[in-house]
Amino acid sequence: MGSKTVLIDEDLFVYIVERYDGLSRLQEQSTAVEERASYLSRHPHEIKLRGLDMLANQVNLQKLHHRASNVNSIYDSTLILLAG
């Protein structure tokens, strides 16, 4: 039995490789999304805690901003008193 060789055009080869590469990347991305969704469905408690941590950080930032504003106004008042 003799072996037969199939020759294809270079452009056709590039087209096939690009299509396969695109499909394999799409499959990898869909698998990653599926794994992430599975993780999220198994760990809702952790997600809620992260949300509470983010909310607490936001409140702390608001407090720091308010304190910084107060310090800046005291600094401005001190400069006016020293200049006068």
The confidence score (pLDDT) of residue 16 equals: 78
Tens-digit pLDDT profile for the chain (84 aa)? 567 777 778 888 888 777 777 777 878 888 888 888 888 777 777 767 777 788 888 888 888 888 888 888 888 888 777 776
Element (DSSP H or E) covering residue 9: none
> What is the DSSP-derived secondary structure letter of residue 4?
-
Measure the CA dihedral 58/61/67/72, to 10°: -130
Domain boundaries, the chain: 9-42
The confidence score (pLDDT) of residue 66 equals: 87
The confidence score (pLDDT) of residue 5 equals: 76
Which residues, including other chains, have CB under 8 Å from residue 24's CB and lie 6 or more apart?
A: none
